[in-house]
């Protein structure tokens, strides 16, 4: 008997069984390199893809720069979810990735955050006032696109007259996940993080125009930099070239799945923008 499970609008996986029900084909396992900022969104996407396809997905999280270096040196990844568009494009141009497989799956949003509700404030300006700040965390701009954005924003904050005390030191994490941990554990007073890293529901209000906002007492204080202060964080995925035909097919299905309406809604719920507008169904919607 042959059972076929369809992945709605994206892919189909075929699982063959013998007459006594013994499974003959369990699908393939994909190794997916994922930028650290996308951890919270990647987990439910992985689970949904496995449920629909019958394939298995192993997520490996790290900085985009480190993943890129590993890939060009032969790391056995099938798919790369980067936090930028530059490196997926380079892999495609160099023949390391499948031609034409590159897609934009998310548009990153960054913010300046502190656990202390009094550290960050905004008064009559689009720039924040920082109170008793000694250490600022950000991702390493040499490795992480969110670090590039943070460096640009911080420089423009200083040039624009933001109130920053002298002697402030920058603490670099390898990726935006480490930058978040520096602030969360108290090693830094404030830090540039991905909006997706804050727990859903902990923010009182987010202005749709990306103007500054405050978070609730449980979350501390935060400021959303206006988009003109940094280059867009366009996060792209790409299928990497491999010798296993089944893995190549499954990898292409996974990347296609990322741009489906269902997954794009998951991505929006986790604090990202997307290239197309999707209505996000929230709890209590009819």
pLDDT of the residue at 70: 98
Position 282 in a domain: no
Lowest pLDDT segment from 24-28, 56-60, 241-245, 266-270: 24-28
CA proximity to 190, closest of 285, 75, 110: 110
Start-to-end CA distance of the chain, whole Å, equals: 40
Output the CA angle 109-227-83, nearest 5 degrees.
35
Tell me phi and psi for residue 49, to 5 degrees.
-65, -45
**Type and span of the H or E element at 66:** helix 64-72
Of 280 and 222, which is predicted with more confidence?
222
Output the CA angle 75-81-86, nearest 5 degrees.
90
pLDDT of the residue at 202: 55
Helix, strand, or coil (residue 117): coil
- Whether residue 115 contacts residue 220, with contact meaning beta carbons closer than 8 Å, is answered with yes
Whether the per-residue pLDDT at 16 is higher than 70: the answer is no
- Whether residue 115 contacts residue 186, with contact meaning beta carbons closer than 8 Å, is answered with yes
Position 278 in a domain: no
Position 285 in a domain: no
Could you report the per-residue pLDDT of 145-201, keeping only the tens digit for each? Answer: 999 999 999 999 888 777 777 789 999 999 999 999 999 999 999 999 998 888 665
Could you report the per-residue pLDDT of 64-84, keeping only the tens digit for each? Answer: 999 999 999 999 999 999 999
Contacts of 185 by beta carbon, 8 Å cutoff, 6+ apart:
none
Calculate the alpha carbon distances from 136 to 23, 32, 131, 169, 216 in Å.
54, 31, 12, 6, 21
> Which of the listed ranges 13-22, 125-134, 164-173 does the model predict with the highest average pLDDT?
164-173
**Do 66 and 143 have their domain in common?**
no
Position 276 in a domain: no
What CATH number has the domain bearing residue 77? 3.40.190.10
pLDDT of the residue at 239: 98
**Do 216 and 237 have their domain in common?**
no
Q: What is the DSSP letter of 200?
A: T
**Do 101 and 165 have their domain in common?**
no
Rounded Cα distance between 38 and 273, Å, is 12
- Whether residue 33 contacts residue 81, with contact meaning beta carbons closer than 8 Å, is answered with yes
pLDDT of the residue at 4: 29
**Do 16 and 97 have their domain in common?**
yes
pLDDT band for position 1 (50/70/90)? Answer: very low
Name the pTM for this structure: 0.80
**Do 24 and 158 have their domain in common?**
no
Which whole number is the average pLDDT over 243-247? Answer: 92
pLDDT of the residue at 220: 80
pLDDT of the residue at 97: 98
Whether the per-residue pLDDT at 226 is higher than 50: the answer is yes
Rounded Cα distance between 253 and 49, Å, is 9
pLDDT band for position 124 (50/70/90)? Answer: low
Compute the mean pLDDT over every residue in the chain, rounded to the nearest whole number.
82
- Domains identified in the chain, total number: 2
pLDDT of the residue at 125: 62
Lowest pLDDT segment from 88-97, 105-114, 143-152, 157-166: 157-166
In the sheet that holds 190-194, the strands lie side by side as: 169-173, 135-139, 190-194, 110-114, 221-223
> Which of the listed ranges 90-104, 155-169, 198-212 does the model predict with the highest average pLDDT?
90-104
Position 277 in a domain: no
Contacts of 274 by beta carbon, 8 Å cutoff, 6+ apart:
105, 106, 107, 264, 267, 268
Which residue range forms the structural domain that includes residue 31?
2-107+232-269
Name beta bridge partners: 79. Answer: 32, 239
Which whole number is the average pLDDT over 228-250? Answer: 94
CB atoms within 10 A of CB 20: 5
- Whether residue 51 contacts residue 33, with contact meaning beta carbons closer than 8 Å, is answered with no
Whether the per-residue pLDDT at 207 is higher than 60: the answer is no
């Amino acid at each position: 008997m042959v059972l076929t499970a369809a992945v709605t609008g994206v892919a189909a996986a075929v699982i063959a069984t013998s007459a006594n029900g013994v499974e003959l084909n369990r699908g393939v396992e994909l190794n997916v390199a994922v930028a650290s900022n996308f951890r919270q969104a990647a987990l439910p996407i992985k689970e949904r893809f496995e449920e629909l396809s019958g394939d298995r997905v192993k997520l490996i999280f790290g900085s985009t720069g480190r993943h890129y270096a590993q890939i060009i040196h032969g790391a056995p990844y099938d798919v790369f979810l980067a936090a930028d568009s530059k490196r997926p494009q380079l892999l495609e141009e160099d023949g390391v990735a499948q031609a034409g497989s590159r897609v934009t799956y998310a548009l990153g949003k960054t913010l300046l955050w502190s656990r202390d509700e009094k550290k960050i404030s905004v008064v009559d300006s689009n720039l924040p006032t920082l109170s008793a700040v000694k250490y600022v965390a950000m991702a390493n701009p040499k490795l992480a696109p969110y670090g590039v954005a943070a460096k640009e924003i911080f420089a423009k904050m200083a040039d624009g007259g933001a109130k920053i005390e002298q002697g402030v030191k920058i603490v670099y994490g390898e990726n935006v996940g480490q930058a978040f941990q520096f602030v969360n554990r108290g090693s830094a007073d404030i830090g540039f993080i991905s909006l997706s890293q804050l727990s859903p529901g902990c923010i009182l209000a987010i202005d749709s125009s990306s103007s500054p906002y405050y978070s609730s007492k449980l979350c501390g204080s935060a400021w959303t930099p206006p988009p003109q202060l940094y280059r867009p964080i366009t996060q792209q995925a790409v299928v990497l070239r491999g010798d296993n035909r089944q893995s190549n097919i499954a990898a292409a299905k996974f990347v296609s799945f990322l741009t489906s309406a269902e997954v794009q809604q998951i991505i929006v719920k986790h604090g990202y923008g997307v290239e197309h507008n999707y209505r996000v169904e929230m709890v209590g919607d009819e």
